[in-house]
Structure 1
Amino acid sequence: MTETFAVQDSAELAVVERGGFVESRHAGSAVVLAPSGEVITRLGDPDALILPRSSLKPLQAVAVVTAGAALEGERLALATASHAGTDRHAAVVRDMLGAVGLTEDHLACPASWPTDVATRDAMVREHLEPAAIRHNCSGKHAAMLSACVATGWSTEGYLDETHPLQVHIREVVERLTGEKIAATVIDGCGAPVHALTLTGLARGIHRVGTSSERSPFALHRVAGALVRTVREHPWTIDGPGRSDTFAIERFGVFSKLGAEGVQVMVAPDGTTVALKTLDGSLRAAPLVALHLLANAGALTASDVADAAAHPMFAVQGGGRDVGRIRATV
């Protein structure tokens, strides 16, 4: 069986403190690349295979545009999002589908409630049902469908591993990461997700995050536009007060989480982090990534320390803050 790194190959990345008592520890692996792409930090076993989950979306988004999807601005940003399912997110996804003559019925991701609590509560009050357009991956799926329409590929079975779109995405992922895909499984949204090393994922994200819109190569022009657009519209990729949106707004990084504890982040100078917490928890991942970028000199340590005071990293007891999640890297 193909599997990720083991407990004994992990490094401690963060702890959870409650009233001065270290209650939990998050172990995992991480790798940091310099702006040049050189590996400068290794923790745990970053050469072991992982499933990038939604941290693969930036590479998938580049692939769907090079396959023909005509996406710009907020629509392009939604192609790489794990969005909160707000009305604003859903409206952009509907626009993406409508632009190519499709509707929500063409989405093959599961019907879901929004992860944004206020939006979910409003839907419940209005007696609405979960919907595919509210799934956090609906932007990615709309982008995939857009590419199929533009290229003349069937929209039926667009998630099948042998569909021309998925074949193209696989080729682009291999090109950007410099690795051959080790295994392909089904992600939570129903799309294929490819096993890579953490180092390979970091290289792919570094190439996306440092690409120029003035490059002579279309792949890099698309990547440059994607990163610029996400930085211009940080609400798209996640949601108000949520970790990726917070990191982008606060530090100008390009940030993308993935399920099961995966996080990638590119600083404005090109320094890149990729990490996975072995227990699959995401609660410490963005903070660890920010600390690793600060350790590399890409972010100011005092600014990262201030960000660590954000409520998302607080530990609650009796309705008040009684501790913190603390990076130990």
Structure 2
Amino acid sequence: MKSVTLVEETRAGLVENVHIGMICGVNEKLDSLYHVGDATHHTFYRSAAKPIQALPVFLSNIITKYGLTNEEVTLFTASHRGEPYHIDALESMLQKLPVREEELFCPAAYPLNRQPKEKMLWENKEKRRLYHNCSAKHMGFIAVCRELGYPVEGYWKIEHPLQQQLLEILSVLSDVPVSQIEIGMDGCGVPVFAIPLKNMALTYLKLACPALITDISMQKAVKQMTSLMHEHPRMVASDDFICTELLKDKNIVAKGGAQGVYCFGLKNERIGFALKVLNGSEDVWPVIIASILEQINYENHETIARLRALKPSIIWNDAGDKVGEIAERFRLVGMEESTS
């Protein structure tokens, strides 16, 4: 496994933190147009898989059958942060869908964002499964099971027909045979899949450019799903988070996962990117992705500016003094350079 320094943080001129990892950008032929480090490294999607895991909902009649709003539907793709607008939509979904909160396999939790969590603690409210950042995904899983006649019990197990369906969907989108997809357990208890980084990038290229998908029903489902992610980006994460800021750009389909995994696809450029920060940091995503976009001469400078605003290059201490800097240290290698 070859990795490269992606970002350095310095304090008083001394290196304090180093974030190493790998990056890959591919076209529809799975050519590595750009890379840093090992593009074949098997990587777990973590929550970057959520749009893929949401596709069975979009392939079914659930949305119209139960009268879900666009905001509610977008939550199936989300790692929601527990803001009031998330909780309101989740409560509404519970009333509409044939799902009971106690059926969700994800554990009870408080919201991820500080303000709603502190408010609930102040009001002495208990943790709920609904507040877990994967709760909408689990609601979608159960709704699909009931719609397709699958058993709800054990929907989180890899041998369950729903999880087998998801394996097939991932295989189609990634061009990786099911037999070569590695399987672990995610933080919320459902299977999590690992494939080569370059194939992860390919899945997001197909999400951004669904015409590359030969299955027409899957193509239509992807179009519907990604249009809603663009229409309601803060439902996917929350304000001032990287997924939301990237999805404001209708040319980009993006989603991150735990432990430093991030994927995005560019429609007009027809490139899919995937990256892995090996120390698991999510904090440096904006720096890395802004640099990727700058290095490929991405035309939407407003998107890059929003990313730079999320993670400025100057490190300030609690008193407001400048104490250090954060900067990317990688250079994308192109196809021509790889073969020269």
1:155-200 per-residue CA deviation (whole Å, 9 max, x = no partner) reads 2211111111111011101111011343211100111001111111
Tell me the TM-score normalized by structure 2: 0.86
Q: In 1, Cα distance between the equivalents of 2:198 and 2:119? A: 42
**Pairing of 1:229-244 with structure 2 (within 5 A):** 229-244=228-243
Residue 110 (structure 2) aligns with: 113
| Superposition CA RMSD, Å | 2.5
How far off its partner does 1:249 sit?
2.8
In the comparison of the two structures, how many residue pairs are matched? 322
Q: In 2, Cα distance between the equivalents of 1:306 and 1:124? A: 32
CA gap 1:214/1:47 in 2 versus in 1, 3 angstroms: closer
How far off its partner does 1:311 sit?
4.9
Asked if structure 2 preserves the Cα contact closer than 8 Å seen for 1:93 and 1:133, the reply is yes
1:15 to 8, 14, 38: 8
Residue 79 (structure 1) aligns with: 76
How far off its partner does 1:263 sit?
0.5
Q: In 2, Cα distance between the equivalents of 1:115 and 1:81? A: 13
How far off its partner does 1:278 sit?
1.0
**Pairing of 1:291-310 with structure 2 (within 5 A):** 291-300=291-300, 304=304, 307-310=307-310
Residue 273 (structure 1) aligns with: 273
Query: After alignment, is 86-95 or 108-117 more displaced?
Result: 86-95
How far off its partner does 1:274 sit?
0.5
Q: In 1, Cα distance between the equivalents of 2:16 and 2:250? A: 29
**Pairing of 1:145-164 with structure 2 (within 5 A):** 145-164=142-161
Q: In 2, Cα distance between the equivalents of 1:214 and 1:60? A: 16
How far off its partner does 1:80 sit?
1.2
Residue 58 (structure 1) aligns with: 51
Asked if structure 2 preserves the Cα contact closer than 8 Å seen for 1:274 and 1:289, the reply is no
Aligned residue for 2:91, secondary structure, equals helix
1:93-123 per-residue CA deviation (whole Å, 9 max, x = no partner) reads 2333332222222211011111111101110
**Pairing of 1:113-262 with structure 2 (within 5 A):** 113-180=110-177, 181-211=180-210, 217-249=216-248, 253-262=252-261
CA gap 1:215/1:313 in 2 versus in 1, 3 angstroms: farther
Aligned residue for 1:276, secondary structure, equals strand
Aligned residue for 1:79, secondary structure, equals helix
Aligned residue for 1:194, secondary structure, equals strand
Asked if structure 2 preserves the Cα contact closer than 8 Å seen for 1:214 and 1:221, the reply is no
Asked if structure 2 preserves the Cα contact closer than 8 Å seen for 1:267 and 1:299, the reply is no
Residue 315 (structure 2) aligns with: 315
Q: In 2, Cα distance between the equivalents of 1:129 and 1:253? A: 37
In structure 2, stretches of 5+ residues that fail to align are: 331-340
Query: After alignment, is 267-276 or 314-323 more displaced?
Result: 314-323
Q: In 2, Cα distance between the equivalents of 1:314 and 1:62? A: 40
Asked if structure 1 preserves the Cα contact closer than 8 Å seen for 2:141 and 2:162, the reply is yes
Q: In 1, Cα distance between the equivalents of 2:36 and 2:277? A: 11
CA gap 1:46/1:175 in 2 versus in 1, 3 angstroms: same
CA gap 1:224/1:72 in 2 versus in 1, 3 angstroms: farther
Moved over 6 A (4+): 213-216
In structure 1, stretches of 5+ residues that fail to align are: none
